[in-house]
Amino acid sequence: MTSRQEYIDKLKDKLTEWDNEIDKMEIKARQANEDLRHQWEKRKLDLKEKRQDLSSRLEKVRNSADDTWDDLKRQMDATWDSVSEGIRDMKSKLFG
């Protein structure tokens, strides 16, 4: 089982990675056709909202009591999976 600090460190690294991926997709989307640009703009807003949600939850995890840690982790994992899937999907559309 992952310790709380390991989980926090892993999530911080992942958030940085996602920021970089979103930046790369933004550049690629500017060069894409209109339909793809429109899809990106819609998806980008969703990804950024979820990314911000994870960042906020990260603070809660840092400050949470031990008895709420497991619930927070489950919620974060679900959002994490959703963001990961969204990024993978959009990358495949933009980069082929």
Q: Strand, helix or coil at 73?
A: helix
Q: Are 44 and 22 in contact (CB under 8 A)?
A: yes
- Total-model pTM: 0.80
* Structural domain includes residue 85: yes
Summarize pLDDT for 24-55 with one digit per residue, the tens: 999 999 999 999 999 999 999 998 898 898 88
pLDDT per position as a tens digit, 43-90: 999 988 988 988 888 888 888 877 788 888 888 888 889 889 989 998
Whether 87 is covered by a domain: the verdict is yes
Residue 67 lies in a domain: yes
7 domain-assigned? no
Number of structural domains in the chain: 1
Q: Which of 52, 84, 69, 64 is nearest to 2 (CA)?
A: 69
Residue 19 lies in a domain: no
Owning domain of residue 94: 49-96
Say whether pLDDT at 17 is over 70. Answer: yes
Residue count (the chain) = 96
